[in-house]
Amino acid sequence: MKSPLLIDHPLVACHLTVLRDKHTNSTEFRQTVNRMTTFLAFAATEDVQTAELPIETPVQKTTGQRMIDRVGIIPILRAGVAMVDPLLNVIPTAEVWHLGLYRDEATAQPIRYYNKLPAADPVDLAFILDPMLATGGSACEACRALLQWGVKRIKMLAIIAAPEGIARLSTTYPEIEIYTCAIDRGLNEHKFIVPGLGDAGDRIFNTTGQ
């Protein structure tokens, strides 16, 4: 079982404070999610596979690098959508595939309602995106779908995570790498992360959850 990689950086802590603040408006919240995802993307792409590429600068011929991994970005609808653009900014050749999952409030179990993964030809490396890794149910369901697709390398990117979600994902799929900007205290009786940042989807899209 792999330990989660925690992005411990002063700028991350400052941006995380903005996300946690209940007075942060939807526009600023989205912008901050974008910035935090960029930090995660930088860490999670450290081991992407590259190959030498001969190029010519305005001065002389030289050698550069090109990425040879075929990368898939899989946002968990709906909050994960806000994390897509930062990944595409650093990996413009990445493919985006969508999984729709919601948590049954009575059982706290994930329900899959949408799946646009193709039947064959899996990517080399997949990034699952969700601002919050809470119970781990949706993350496990996403991993199950990607493994069924045939993806060999999967990384989970979550801005904040609860120990319960980390434990569940790591126990169920120990090969999955988890990247997060904060590991919070735990879950409350409603399965929300504490201290957390509220409902990320509602705050991103300026909805009330009603």
Classify residue 28 by burial, with Cβ atoms within 10 Å: 0-12, 13-18, 19+.
Answer: middle
30: annotated active-site residue: no
> Which residue is catalytic, options 27, 57, 63, 107?
107
The string of DSSP codes covering 83-142 is GHHHHHHH-TT-EE--EEEEE-TTT--EEEEEE---SS---SEEEEE-SEESSSHHHHHH
> Which residue is catalytic, options 69, 85, 124, 202?
202
The owner of tokens 């997949």 is 126
CA–CA distance, 170 with 91 (Å, rounded to integer)? 26
As given in the structure block, the two tokens for residue 82 are: 């806000």
> Which residue is catalytic, options 103, 112, 144, 172?
103
20: annotated active-site residue: no
Q: Is 201 in a helix, a strand, or coil?
A: helix
Radius of gyration of the chain measured on its C-alpha atoms: 18
CA–CA distance, 194 with 164 (Å, rounded to integer)? 12
Amino acid at site 59 = V
CA–CA distance, 77 with 118 (Å, rounded to integer)? 17
103: annotated active-site residue: yes
107: annotated active-site residue: yes
Residues in Cβ contact with 14 at an 8 Å cutoff, skipping those fewer than 6 apart: none
Q: What positions carry a catalytic annotation? A: 103, 107, 199, 202
